[in-house]
Amino acid sequence: MQYRKLSDSIELKGVGLHSGREFCLSIEPSGEALSLEAGGTRLPVSGLALDGTGRGSDLIFPDGKRVRTCEHVLSALAGLGVWRCKLSVTGDFPLEMPGLDGCSLGLAREIMEKSVPCERENPLPFALRYPVYAGDDARFVVALPSSSFRVTYVIDYAAAPVGTRIFDYFGDGGTDYLKEIAPARTFVMRSDVEALRAAGLALGGSPDNAVVVGDTGVEAAGGLRFPDEFARHKILDLLGDLACLGRPLIAHVVAIRAGHVQHLQLVERLRAVSRLD
């Protein structure tokens, strides 16, 4: 397991992918567990409630305040092994993380520039001892005992440009994440765009930060970055959702046609199991 610690603060400003409004994100070095501040309240991410029903992962404070679409930021931190830092989001409520570049590449590069390898004072990984499952027969995710961290993700979409894809990720923090996962952008079916925007979602999305999938092709700045970019992005999302454990997980995580709902159900069950560990 590779770890890094921030040597300087990171300040980002940008629109939320769903709200289309501007927010500011501050990531500061800390000796304490990964935490989030919103509206003057700071708590470890491992102690916040979770909601994956709004086409993203929301973290919810005990008083009901929530920060929407946290997965890409958390993915960059966890994917590079940064587990000790303080996140703060400011802007008009309801809050949302800046949408960045629709993936984690820009933030991941800045984290690498403003961090150094760290061998001490890191959180103890959670080594899973028996399987933990979330979902149903059609969509599920399961964490299996393993000697190292691994993700196997299978997606299956009717749209021909996506189709059925599988990607295996063997990252334990570091350059593998930066090269293989961080550049993979979020995607949306063209047939869903109108309904999403009518529901107040995807208002900050554009070809610059998302891949729009039609029946026979895609719209994306520069085209696809990988033939299996869609599966890689699902792993990006899953890594961000798993970061809500507050510490690294040692397990083989297998996801079949899953999404944020199943990811976060798994996290809630892993949290319960880890408290008994």
Is 72 labeled as catalytic in the residue annotation? no
> Maximum distance among all alpha carbons in the chain?
50
Residue 40 φ then ψ, to 5°: 85, 0
Sheet containing strand 187-189, strands side by side:
187-189, 211-213, 218-219
The one-letter code for the residue type at 32 is E
What is the distance between the alpha carbons of residues 110 and 11, in angstroms, rounded to a whole number? Answer: 10
Please say whether the beta carbons of 61 and 89 come within 8 A: no
Residue 271: φ, ψ to 5°: -55, -45
| Separation CA 214–CA 178 (nearest Å) | 28
The structure tokens listed for 185 are: 């952008």
Among the options 18, 233, 260, 263, which is catalytic?
260
Whole-number Cα distances in Å, 226 to 107, 211, 230, 234:
19, 12, 8, 13
Strand partners, 212: 188, 219
Q: Which residues in 157-277 belong to E strands, given as ranges? A: 164-169, 187-189, 211-213, 218-219, 249-250, 252-256
- Residues identified as active-site: 260
